[in-house]
Structure 1
Amino acid sequence: MTETVASQQRFPLITQEALDDLRSRIGQQFDRPAPHVSEATADSIRHWALGIGDDNPLWLDPEYARNTLWGGIIAPGTFLYAFDRVVSGYVGGLPGVHAMFAGTDWQWYEPIRLGDRIEARPVLKDLLELESSFSGRSVKQTYRVSFFNQDGVLICEADSWCIRTQRDVARERATREAVEPRVWSPQEIADIDRHYAQYRRRGATPRYWEDVEVGEALPTMLKGPSTVTSFVCFTQGWGSLYVKAHGPAFEMFRKHPALGIPNDLGVPEPPERVHWDSELARAVGVPAAYDYGPERISWLGHLMTDWIGDDGFLNRLNVQVRRHNIIGDLTTCGGTVTGKRVEDGKHLVEVAVAGTNQRGEQTAVGTAIATLPSKSG
């Protein structure tokens, strides 16, 4: 079989010189691409919410939202992924070395309200050298991103990290374990459709802290089966990292030559196309095109906000992305209450959350903390 352009491409390895140069930037501010969103408008909130499959009227319906505790439309906390490229996986340094988004630790202090203008301020926080069975030498690259609204109020802090992997090593090692995308039968699709039709969010019915029991399981939420269409839908709300067209695309490749990976036609395209191009995904060691990591973390955020109801507030969501979610995968999102406490007057619950594919593999694992209303007031 004739080798494709992507399979013949040779990519840079991680060198000590490049790593030392990147380490010198820790704690410093830096230039980065403009955000996809800078203001929480009704349109941008809607695009985000529907991009993760969340049609909660608290985000979408002004009349409904007006009659809630919040007095108007608010947005899912993970919407902040659209306000900054860094928290979404944009990484500097190590040109030509693949970046795989691996997780975010979100801490929200205030809700995102309709009309908020939000500024993100990221800094490189840490570099951790690793030895990966997937790609040999690798690096965990962590950023701290602080988000402020138009009044200068800190509404959120997030630590977000990527694993930098060596593409050629990953491709060579990946041939040992082939995973084929799942093909679903009409009956299985009907069963998935039935789940979606029967699913109910908590909504306006309060979930009181006193009624929650440690060990209680959250209702199951399905996401998928994943398709290129669903990836594109997420990208419409999130904005992507490197998707540009025509002149702006070529300008980006001139400034950052390692981003321009020739396709089969010899035309440069960004490495982000692993999310819709299975050939390039295989060239970096993944069985097929795969989803965006922030998407799965946002699904677990959706799981939590549906469970806590309109009167709850999601304080923290710390999720690690463990495996790739490839085309055809169905993710079952679930959680279990692991603790409850009163702290600084807030009635808090802690939940272990996870996303599991149809092969029984946990692709995302984390912890969530939320404030619930109390019967004591």
Structure 2
Amino acid sequence: MGTSGVITDAEVERLRAKLGQRVEVSEPPYVTEANRDAIRRWAAATGDRNPLYTDPEYAGAGPQGGIVAPPCLPYAFSRLSIGYRGGLPGVHSMFGGSHWTWYRPLPIGSRVRAETRFTDLIELNGRFAGRMFKQLSTTTFRTDTDPEPFAQVQGWGMRTERQTARKRNKYGDTRLAHYTAEDIAAIADEYTQERLTGAEPRYWDDVKVGDELPTVVRGPYTATIAVAFEQAWGGLFVRAHGAWFDYVRDHPAIGIPNAYGIPEPPEAVHWDSQLARIAGVPEAYDYGPERISWLSTLVTNWIGDHGFLEQLYVEIRGFNLIGDLSRGHGEVEEVSPVGDDGHGRVRLSVRIVNQRGDVTAKGWASVRLPVRAESTR
């Protein structure tokens, strides 16, 4: 296949031969410990203001007895956790979604190790780029002190031919955002209205089907926000100087020439609009795991410190472009009977909607809530 960026049957079969295998990378993880700095950076980059993640005194008085990690921080413990997408050299890779399962909170100071296996490769035909492949993997997270996992994520990404997407130009007529000073002031005010249940328990007894979660706002998206997320997550191919040129020498299909003829990593599409257009997108766009993290915050804001997010499934449905304003919404879909463990469980529908009314991410969450001792429901 060389560096043509075309999907060939021979390369697809070579990739299929790796199904079920454990995936290894030579680089060390960006984060290996859930220390205070890693937790603080993640909360700041994703807009999560819960003091459970940053205030030792507040967290110490809570149900966990100390600071714990935000649910999606484990993305930073493995570059593969967003969905292994090796193979198909030169073929563009886009994040498609995640299905998270959490078994218990991750306390501050925990050292974490991750294992990823390549699980599936599904051929599709889409409007964006014609022939494309959905590539899935599963990453399991454990601490050094416990062989049982504290979390697991199935992630997937889409492999598309840049030149085909560019020719189809599906997003060519997208109206880009622009804001007046009054618009920005209104958004700033909306941020001040974000509500957290916090230390006051939200009881299963009080939840009804159809209840709406308080909306969260994120953005408008900028290259600065992309950089903030990079600082928290670490990125896939972000390297500098000799290390970058060494990597390009070993992987010649990885570099995309920018306006100055300098090879850039594929993820430069998150801050360089010209490179995004090469991939068939009209402007630079966000990291999909950001939106999943925003939705996890939508949920944890609502359930409070005494609740627990057990599962979150999110499909990325469109691009969140530079300038786009995102809002997270959710509703109660189902209230299950109290389980043998004495907790109530609730299923939520969740989604991200931009200023154009487009749903750019959607899915569901399952949460565990405390039950009143005197409950007769």
Which amino acid is 2:257 matched to?
P
1:224 and 1:331 in contact (8 A); partners too: yes
Q: Deviations over 1:152-201 (max 9, x none)?
A: 22111111000101110000101674213200111111111111112221
1:357 alignment partner, one of 354, 359, 368: 354
Deviation, 1:217, is: 0.5
Deviation, 1:264, is: 2.1
Which amino acid is 1:146 matched to?
T
3-state SS in 2 of match to 1:272: helix
Aligned partner of 2:247 in structure 1 is 252
Aligned partner of 2:90 in structure 1 is 96
3-state SS in 2 of match to 1:155: strand
Structure 2, unpaired ranges of 5+: none
Taking structure 1 as the reference length, the TM-score comes to 0.95
Deviation, 1:234, is: 1.1
Deviation, 1:89, is: 4.2
2:278 alignment partner, one of 276, 283, 287: 283
1:53 alignment partner, one of 38, 47, 53: 47
Aligned partner of 1:5 in structure 2 is none
Which range is displaced more, 73-82 or 23-32? 23-32
CA distance in 2, matches of 1:80, 1:344: 29
1:26 and 1:126 in contact (8 A); partners too: yes
Aligned partner of 1:26 in structure 2 is 19
Deviation, 1:86, is: 1.1
2:76 and 2:233 in contact (8 A); partners too: yes
1:90 and 1:241 in contact (8 A); partners too: no
Which amino acid is 2:256 matched to?
I
* 2:39 paired with 1:42: no
3-state SS in 2 of match to 1:353: strand
CA distance in 2, matches of 1:309, 1:263: 45
* 2:231 paired with 1:228: no
Deviation, 1:24, is: 0.4
Are the structure 2 counterparts of residues 176 and 160 from structure 1 closer, same or farther at C-alpha, using a change threshold of 3 Å? Answer: closer
CA distance in 2, matches of 1:81, 1:361: 26
Which range is displaced more, 340-349 or 199-208? 340-349
CA distance in 2, matches of 1:174, 1:164: 17
CA distance in 1, matches of 2:335, 2:168: 44
Which amino acid is 2:236 matched to?
L
Deviation, 1:215, is: 0.5
Which amino acid is 2:365 matched to?
A
3-state SS in 1 of match to 2:211: coil
1:180 and 1:287 in contact (8 A); partners too: no
1:66 alignment partner, one of 60, 67, 78: 60
Which amino acid is 2:326 matched to?
T
1:366 alignment partner, one of 363, 368, 374: 363
2:172 and 2:281 in contact (8 A); partners too: no
Which range is displaced more, 334-343 or 354-363? 334-343
CA RMSD of superposed structures (Å): 1.3
Which amino acid is 2:94 matched to?
M
Post-superposition, which runs of at least 4 consecutive aligned residues in structure 1 deviate over 6 A?
none
2:197 and 2:301 in contact (8 A); partners too: yes
Which amino acid is 1:80 matched to?
P
The total of aligned residue pairs comes to: 368
CA distance in 1, matches of 2:43, 2:123: 36
1:312 alignment partner, one of 295, 307, 311: 307
CA distance in 2, matches of 1:281, 1:328: 14
3-state SS in 2 of match to 1:258: coil
Which range is displaced more, 43-52 or 193-202? 193-202
Aligned partner of 2:339 in structure 1 is 343
CA distance in 2, matches of 1:123, 1:325: 28
Are the structure 2 counterparts of residues 175 and 122 from structure 1 closer, same or farther at C-alpha, using a change threshold of 3 Å? Answer: closer
Which amino acid is 2:291 matched to?
R
Which amino acid is 2:110 matched to?
D
Deviation, 1:255, is: 1.5
2:131 alignment partner, one of 137, 140, 144: 137
2:157 alignment partner, one of 159, 162, 165: 162
* 2:8 paired with 1:15: yes
1:291 and 1:324 in contact (8 A); partners too: yes
Q: Deviations over 1:18-49 (max 9, x none)?
A: 00000000111232242210100000110111
Deviation, 1:343, is: 2.9
CA distance in 2, matches of 1:11, 1:99: 14
Which amino acid is 1:35 matched to?
P
Aligned-pair identity (%): 47
CA distance in 1, matches of 2:306, 2:59: 11
2:83 and 2:138 in contact (8 A); partners too: no
Deviation, 1:67, is: 0.2
Which amino acid is 1:277 matched to?
D
Taking structure 2 as the reference length, the TM-score comes to 0.95
1:42 and 1:114 in contact (8 A); partners too: yes
2:94 and 2:159 in contact (8 A); partners too: yes
2:84 and 2:135 in contact (8 A); partners too: no
1:34 and 1:85 in contact (8 A); partners too: no
